[in-house]
Structure formats: C-alpha cells, structure tokens
Amino acid sequence: MMPVKTIEWVGDADGAARLIDQTLLPNEVRYLDARDVETMWEAVKMLRVRGAPAIGIAAAFGMYLAVRDATPICRDEFLSEVDRAAAYLNTARPTAVNLSWATRRIQSLVAANEDASVSELKELMLEEAIAMIEEDNAVCRAIGEYGAALINDGDTWLTHCNAGGLATAQFGTATAPIYTALEQGKRIHVYADETRPLLQGARLTAWELQQAGIPVTVITDNMAATVMAQGRIHGVIVGTDRMAANGDFANKIGTLGVAILAKEFNVPFYVAAPTSSIDMTLASGDLIPIEERRPEEVTEGFGKRTAPYGVNVYNPAFDVTPHRYLSGIITEKGLIRPPFDMGLQEVFDQERAS
C-alpha cells in the first residue's frame, strides 16, 4: 500500500499546491489548495503542512505562488519580488533548514537564468518545485534502503513525532526504513510516542502506519522509559529538522530525552537525515535556533483548558540531541557511523565532486 501524498501540484500553471491539512488528522482527511503565498505561509506556520522535507517543497511552491501574478517592469524588480517572497516564507518556522534551503534553491535558479523572460522564469520555478517532489521521493526511498538493513524480522522500533510520509512528499524519512523493511517481507511493530503538545505521533504517525498495515502502539511520551526498561524496543529512529556539521541535530521536542533513554538501555538510536536537512555552515547543535511556540499549545491543546490561567509555560518546539547519543545517521547517500563530523564532510565532498 502506498503512503498518501502529502503535497502535490494540481492543474497547470494556474493550478494550486494541494496539501493534506494535517491539523485535522486523524479524524478528517481534508485537502487544502494553496493558490497564494499567504495561504502557504499560514499552512506552514499552523503546521497544516509540517516536517522538514515537506515544508521545503511547500516553500518552493510558495515562491512560485508569490510571483505567479507579478507583472514587474524589469528583471530586477522581479528578482526583488522573489527575494521578498523568500524572506517572508522563511519567517514561518525558524528552526527547519529546509525552508531556507528551498527558497535559496529557487532564488539561485532565477539568478542563474539570466536570459530568461519573467514568464519563462515563472515556468522554471514551478517546474523546479515539482521536480523537488520527485527528488524527495528518491531521497526517501534511498534512506529506506539504507535504514531497512538495520531492521531485523520481528523487531519492534520506537519513533517520536512524525518523520513519516506526512513529513515529506510521500514516503517519509524516519518511516522510510520501516516501509522498506515491510516491502522486504520483514515483520515490524512500531511504538509511536504521542508527542506532546501537538500529538503528531498519535495523530499522524499512528494514522499513516495503520493505513500502511503496520502494527503500531501509541504511548504517551513519558512511557518510553518503561517500554525500553521492559526490553520491548530493538531500535529507535527519528527525523531531524536541522543537523549541524558535527551530527548534533534539532528534532521535535522530546527527542533528546528519548536519545538519553536509548543510551541508558543500550538501544540503538538512529536519525534519518536527508542531506537537505544538514546545515554544514553550523559547527554544532547549540547554534541551531529553537522555535518557541504559543503557551496555549500546552495549556489548551485540545480545545479545553488543562492548566490554571496565568501559569507560566515554556514551549520550545524542538530540542537538540548531541551527536554522542547517535548510533548512526541515515542519509540518502548511505549510513554514517561515528566520527560523524568526518562522515558528514565526506558526503558533502562527494556531492560537490559529482
């Protein structure tokens, strides 16, 4: 069974970017057609589309939508509209590197095509965004292959948040090895941390694995320790929103805790990291900006007040896991083992050389 499409382009140049509104899952499968950049910005900000790779693609479509109706009097004016769109889209979520990776990629494309007319540039931008979906699928499938080799028949793995198909165009990063292992005929059971405050694990990961016919058990985040203590877990795999050059990585809040527990219980801990999520300009994880979100996500997360009014709340959306807790980094170029700084450098050197 194929995972659902998280984001795709529908129609011709006048069409729309269609995405599943993930805030409504698992109770309702409703699609949203984004026809302007503001709608796309809001969708990213409100987590209707989320997950590092998926918001990269969303941003690329957003770039096109921002200038689709532009009628600049000269190329420079168009370029400045493109730059403005990039700056605007990058404000939607500060932590994910894929936003700026995607907007920069579209900016570079425009800059590189010096002789193209404005209408040709618009066409190129849409083509590039659509191409990014195919690339994302290829990246996820490659991560799936490298990661599946780590999974044994009969294993039980734990994951946190959703780095699944819903976090990418279709196949997922952290879930890709699980889907591939299933295709290889391996039996696998997944424990999904519900992932407070927004419950992406319970709402999204559990839903998409269930759709794919994979046995999944939902636990609250604070149960991960006891299931590991009971010896139920053979491996942990998570995604990342941004990884530094030394392998430190930001991921959904709670990932650091799971990593520490995995170390304590000698459970292998892997991160699925497409190279687009790796920011080689950052030496270490403490340089990754961490998005803080509204207190109401914690105190009124379910349409019901669950903490006293006036109470202080700390609500960081991500934490940073130091690379020392990692058993390996699964990229589309292969599995990287420690020392991670050298391994990551090698991957990027190869990329430049190719």
The alpha carbon torsion through 292, 90, 343, 347 (nearest 10 deg) reads 160
Q: Rounded to the nearest whole angstrom, what is the least distance from the CB of residue 281 to its own copies in the complex?
A: 23
Residues in the chain: 354
* Coil, strand or helix at 231: coil
Q: Rounded to the nearest whole angstrom, what is the least distance from the CB of residue 200 to its own copies in the complex?
A: 10
- Comparing CB distances to its own copies, the nearer of 322 and 334 is 322
339 cis-preceded (ω within 30 degrees of 0)? yes
From candidates 304, 352, 353, 354, binder to its own copies by CB under 8 A: 304
Binding segment for its own copies among 39-47, 102-110, 203-211, 235-243 (CB under 8 A)? 203-211
From candidates 185, 281, 308, 352, binder to its own copies by CB under 8 A: 308
> Is residue 284 a contact residue for its own copies (CB under 8 A)?
no
Binding segment for its own copies among 167-175, 210-218, 237-245, 344-352 (CB under 8 A)? 210-218
The Cα 181–Cα 188 span in angstroms is: 8
> Is residue 185 a contact residue for its own copies (CB under 8 A)?
no
* Coil, strand or helix at 237: strand
The Cα 194–Cα 206 span in angstroms is: 9
From candidates 17, 86, 253, 271, binder to its own copies by CB under 8 A: 253
Chain Cα centroid distance, residue 156: 23
From candidates 184, 210, 275, 284, binder to its own copies by CB under 8 A: 210
The gap between the terminal CA atoms of the chain, to the nearest Å, is 34
Q: Rounded to the nearest whole angstrom, what is the least distance from the CB of residue 193 to its own copies in the complex?
A: 7
From candidates 4, 116, 287, 307, binder to its own copies by CB under 8 A: 307
- Comparing CB distances to its own copies, the nearer of 104 and 324 is 324
Cβ within 8 Å of residue 47, ≥6 positions away: 22, 23, 198
Dihedral sign of CA atoms 153, 154, 158, 163 in order: positive
- Comparing CB distances to its own copies, the nearer of 13 and 29 is 29
- Cβ(176)–Cβ(166) under 8 Å? no
> Is residue 219 a contact residue for its own copies (CB under 8 A)?
yes
Which of these, 70, 95, 98, 94, lies nearest to 84 by C-alpha position? 70
From candidates 4, 70, 116, 260, binder to its own copies by CB under 8 A: 260
From candidates 69, 112, 185, 303, binder to its own copies by CB under 8 A: 303
> Is residue 250 a contact residue for its own copies (CB under 8 A)?
no
- Comparing CB distances to its own copies, the nearer of 225 and 287 is 225
Residue 241 a catalytic site member: yes
> Is residue 91 a contact residue for its own copies (CB under 8 A)?
no
The Cα 98–Cα 337 span in angstroms is: 23
> Is residue 1 a contact residue for its own copies (CB under 8 A)?
no
From candidates 48, 50, 203, 242, binder to its own copies by CB under 8 A: 203
The Cα 106–Cα 187 span in angstroms is: 41
- Cβ(338)–Cβ(354) under 8 Å? no
Cβ within 8 Å of residue 81, ≥6 positions away: 66, 67, 70, 72
Catalytic, out of 193, 241, 279, 319? 241
Total of residues contacting its own copies (CB under 8 A): 56
- Cβ(302)–Cβ(196) under 8 Å? no
94 cis-preceded (ω within 30 degrees of 0)? no
Residues acting as catalytic residues: 241
Q: Which residues contact its own copies (rule: CB under 8 A)?
A: 26-27, 160, 191, 193-197, 199, 202-203, 206-207, 210, 215-227, 229, 253-254, 256-257, 260-261, 263-264, 298-299, 301-308, 310-316, 319-320
